[in-house]
Chains A and B, each alone.
Chain A
Amino acid sequence: DVKVTQSSRYLVKRTGEKVFLECVQDMDHENMFWYRQDPGLGLRLIYFSYDVKMKEKGDIPEGYSVSREKKERFSLILESASTNQTSMYLCASSPGQLQETQYFGPGTRLLVL
């Protein structure tokens, strides 16, 4: 079974803090993704990576950055957390083609105070 794990299920941070969300997949997938999920808006793509050290902006990259130093690990960074970044963050991975099944982690619910 494909397993995508996220470092935290719940996180509380203060405005202005630097926040790291970690994601690890164990299936040697090429592609990894970060989404945020908000009620009524579905899942919106923040960033994705199709190879180590490669990244591309998604639909809502502002206020975020990412890092992929190893194939199995994809990190989402909030440089200076703001209250409008309070959300559920979902990581996903998929094999070679972009239009293949994406496997999601359980999500990290982030609250920024």
Chain B
Amino acid sequence: GENVEQHPSTLSVQEGDSAVIKCTYSDSASNYFPWYKQELGKGPQLIIDIRSNVGEKKDQRIAVTLNKTAKHFSLHITETQPEDSAVYFCAATPRGKLQFGAGTQVVVTP
């Protein structure tokens, strides 16, 4: 079926280090790939997205890369800070609707 796989499920990083989360998808028709951040007690919030006609996009300390041939995309967070601790979800768009990965719990330790 249409699947979005996300790794790792948990990620512990030292403050100031980089964090990388990877996702793969199966439906080659997907053309929109958002990333959401969910803080404790809140709903997910979009932090960055990328469309299939672009290979990379940056917004300050976060960046997303997309390899359409390999059907994978990644989130990169540089110079991590305690407020980056949260659950991160990737998503792809098979059949035009969002299909989410299982999520990655990121813990930034001082």
Measured CB to CB, the residues of A under 8 A from B are 4, 40-45, 48, 58, 90, 92, 98-99, 101-102, 104-107
Q: Which residues of B contact A106 (CB under 8 A)?
A: 41-43
User: Taking the nearest CB of chain A, how far is it from the CB of B54, in angstroms?
Assistant: 14
B74 within 8 A of A: no
- Residue from B34, B89, B96 in contact with A42 in the complex, judged by beta carbons closer than 8 Å: B89
Contact of A105 among B9, B43, B89 (CB under 8 A): B43
- A40 neighbours in B (Cβ, 8 Å): 9, 102
A22 to chain B, nearest CB (A): 15
Chain B: how many interface residues by the 8 Å CB criterion? Answer: 23
A43, A44, A98, A99: which contacts B44 (Cβ < 8 A)? Answer: A43
Q: Given A43-B44, A90-B43, A106-B43, does the pair A99, B103 have CB atoms closer than 8 Å? A: no
- The winner among B49, B89, B100 for most chain A CB atoms within 10 A is B100
Query: Is the pair A48, B43 in contact by a Cβ cutoff of 8 Å?
Result: no
CB neighbours (8 Å) of B4 from chain A are 42
B80 interface residue, CB < 8 Å from A? no
Q: Which of A42, A43, A98, A101 contacts B46 (CB 8 A)?
A: A101
- Across the interface, which residues of A come within 8 angstroms of B32, CB to CB? 99
User: Would you call B97 and A58 a contact (CB within 8 A)?
Assistant: yes
Nearest residue (CB) in B for A35 is: B100
Cross-chain contact A99 with B31 (CB below 8 angstroms): yes
Contact indicator A4/B100 (Cβ below 8 Å): no
A44 CA to B99 CA, complexed, in Å? 7
